[in-house]
Chains A and B, each alone.
Chain A
C-alpha cells in the first residue's frame, strides 16, 4: 500500500477527473480542502533560529490553532504597507487587474487541479481582497461590495496553502495585458507569512543549510571533495580520462558556480561530471568553491532579505579567490537570481573583469556588469568557433526534446543557446508543441521550493501540462530523453515523466555535450557517463553507429 507521498498512491484516471468549472459557493466562502499530499510541512523552529527569523514554533498545517503571534493582524498590515512603498510591482499589481481572466487557464496548477484559487487572478485576489479592505477608499467605504474582506486567521491559512501552491514560474505574466506577475504576488505573500513565522521546511531548511555551509544540502567541504572525487572515478571508468578537481584555488581565471542538486541527485550528477570533463578537456583555469558551493538560492522563495543574505557569498568568494569572472552552470532559479537580482543585491562587481572566453576571445558584453556567464552561452560560443571535437553519432540512440525551464525562459530569455548546443551534439531533436515551450513553457510542478514528496499530489497535478506535452512527442517522434538546464527540473521531471510519460528520461545538456565529445587520450567509448552501454559500441569493431534508434515513425 503506497503512501500519499509516493506517485503510485495516485491513480491517473482519478487525477484526470479535472473539472475546471468553479464550485457553486463564492470563493470567499469556500475554504481550502487542506489534505495530505497537497501541502508542505511547516518550517522547523531550529531553522528559523539559525536565520534569526522571529516567531519560530512547533505547529502543524492541519492544526486548528496555528499559534499566531500576538498582534498578528497589525504585523501583517504593517508589513503590507511597508511593501507597498518598497515594491512598485506590488502596488501596481494590486491596483490594475481588471479580472479579464486571460491568466486563468495558463497556470499548470489550475490546469491540473481545477481549483479556482489556482487561477493566477484568484491567487492574487486572496491578497488583493485584504488590500482593498484596508488600503483603498472604495474598500473602506463599501467593504465586501467593493471586493474587500477582513483579515482573519482563515485568510492566513488560505494564503499559506495557495502561496505554496505557486511555483513563481511567471507563465501567467506572459499572457497578462498588464504584465501582472504572480511570482511577485507570491513572493509578497510568502514574506508576509514569514513575518508570522510561517514557512515551509522544504524551503527553510535549505536556506539555513546554505547560510551556514554554502549549499542547500549542507554538504561540508570534505564531503564535497569526496563527492567530486567519486565522480572523477566514474568519469575515468567511462572515458579513461582522469580529471583534476580545483577547489578554492586562488588566482584561477574563472570561478564556477552551479546548483548543489547536481552534486547528489541522479541524473544531475551526470551533468556535474559533464562540467568537470568539459573544463578538463578545454584546459581552462577554473576553480570550484566550497564556500560558494551553491548558485541555487532558496532565499528567492523566502524573502528578498534572505535572497540577498545567501547570494552574497558568490561575489565575496570571487573577490577572495581573485578570479577574473564567473561561470554559472545549468540551473533555473539560480539564473533568475544572477540575471535579475545579483548585481543589484550584492554588486557592483567592479573587482572582476568583463568575461572573455579564454578559447575564442569572445567578450560577453551582455554580462559586462554582472560578470557572470551562463554555461550554455559559453559552450554555444565554443561550438560556433569549432573548439569542441564532436561526434554526434554517439548520441544517436537518444531522441531528445528540450524543456525550457521557467526562470531561464521568462526571467532571462535564453532560448537559442541551448537549442544551438543540442542540435550540434544530437542528431535527433524534436520540439514539444509551441504553446508549451520557450516563453510559454510549463513548469515541472516542483519549482519555488515545492519539489518535495509530501506535496506529491500537487506535483503530479502541476506536472500534467508538461507531462502531457512530453507524452505527445514521445508518441509522435519516439522521444526518449528530455533535456533541461535546471537542477530542480532534473529532480522533479523524473517523477513527472515516470508518471505521465513513462520511458522518457531526463538529462542535462552538458551531459549530452560530453557524451558526444571526442577527448584527447580517451579510451574506446563503450559506456556513457551513466556507465550504460552505448548502443552500437558494445562490439569490438570500431565502426560508427549506423541506425538511428527510436527516431523512426
Chain B
C-alpha cells in the first residue's frame, strides 16, 4: 500500500517537527533544517535544469495539434502549430498558465458493449489548475513574513484573496481552493482504477505533504493561533543571514515548517521537477517551421549508405534492359 507508506512518512515528519518545537529545538527546526532545505532546493533545481540543458536536441519534433502554416489562404492554427518563435511562446504560455493539453481531456466509454464514445472530462484540468494557482498565491501571500516593509502588491494579493470577509481572521479563498484541489487529486488517484494502479509512493507523498502543509497552516491561522510577529522575526532573520529564534512560538509552526522544508529538499529529486521540465519539453517548446528553417543536430555523424553507384553497378544490366537511363554504359562482352 503505497499511500500508507506516504501517509506514515508525512505524519511522522510532522510529529517530529511538532515534538522538536515542544522540546525547544527551535534552532534545529527553525534555522538549520530550513537552511539546508533551501540550499538543496536551489542547488538541486539548478543542477537538474543544467543536466537537461546539457542534453542535446538533435531533431525538431513538436507535436502539431492544429493546421500547419502552408498555403496563404488556409487558416493557420498559430498556437497549436506555431510557425514563429513568438507563436511558440504563446503555445507555451497557454500550456504553462492554463494547462492547455489537459483541457482536451476525454474519458472513453464502451457503450452497449461495442461502441466507443469519448466524453469531455475536465475534472483533472480543474482540480490541477485550482491546486497550482492557489499554491502560487499562497506562496506570494507568505512573502509578507519575509519582507519589511511588505510590498504593496503582496498586501493587494492578500486583501483580494480575503475579499469574502468571512471569519476573523478572514478565510482566504485560495486556502479553500488549495485544500479542495489537493483533496480532489488525492481522491482521484485513489478511486480511478488506472491511476491507482500506476501510482507510486512518490505520487502520494507530495500530495500528502501539500495537504499537511495546507491543513497545518490553516489550523494555525484560524484555530490554534501562532504569534505572527515572532514568526516574522525568525523568517526575517533567516533571510538576512542573521538568524534569531524567538521564544514561545507555537510548536505547530515547527511541524508546518518541517513539512515545507521537506517539500523544498525533496523537490529537485522527484517528479515535482515537472515545474521546470515543462518549459523544456521538445514536443511543446519547438517551433513547427521544420520545412522552412533547417534544424541542426549537434552530434550528427556520417553513416554508411548504399550509394547510387553501388546500386547501379549491381543492377545496370536490368536497368538497361528495361530502358532506364544509366550513368555508366554496359560493358561490351
Contacts and interface: CB of A to CB of B under 8 A. Distances in A.
Interface stretch (B19-27, B31-39, B48-56): B48-56
Given A344-B294, A366-B291, A413-B68, A91 B104 contact: no
- A-side interface mostly: helix
Given A88-B280, A96-B281, A178-B278, A343 B294 contact: yes
Interface in B88-138: 95, 99, 101-102, 104-108, 110, 113-118, 124, 128
A368 B65 CA distance: 22
A335 B183 CA distance: 45
Contacts of A89: 57, 61, 281-283
- B-side interface mostly: loop
Nearest to B118: A435
Contact of A369 (B102, B294, B297, B321): B294
Interface string A244-268: 0001111000000000000000000
A548 interface: no
Contacts of A390: none
Contact of A313 (B64, B65, B305): B305
A92 B52 contact: yes
A272 B53 CA distance: 45
B71 A221 contact: no
Contacts of B263: none
A291 B295 contact: no
Contacts of A174: 63, 65, 101, 104
B321 A222 contact: yes
Interface stretch (A301-309, A445-453, A519-527): A301-309
Contacts of A220: 315, 318
Interface in B62-80: 63-71, 73-75, 77, 80
A537 to B, nearest CB: 33
Contact of A102 (B77, B102, B270, B284): B102
Contacts of B117: 433
A137 B40 CA distance: 13
**Tier of interface size on chain B:** 35 or more
Interface of B: 5, 48, 51-61, 63-71, 73-75, 77, 80-81, 83, 95, 99, 101-102, 104-108, 110, 113-118, 124, 128, 192-195, 197-203, 269-271, 273-274, 277-278, 280-284, 288-297, 299-300, 303-308, 311-312, 314-315, 318-319, 321-325, 327
Counting from the closest, the 9 A-B pairs by CB-CB distance are A96-B277, A413-B64, A222-B322, A413-B68, A179-B283, A101-B195, A22-B197, A435-B118, A370-B291
Interface of A: 12, 16, 18, 20-22, 26-27, 52, 84-93, 95-102, 104-106, 111, 116, 119, 121-122, 125, 136-138, 145-147, 170, 173-181, 184, 211-214, 220-222, 225-226, 247-250, 290-291, 304-305, 308-309, 312-313, 316-317, 320, 338-341, 343-345, 347-348, 362, 364-370, 372, 377, 380-381, 384, 409-417, 420, 433, 435-436, 438-440, 464-465, 468-469, 471-472
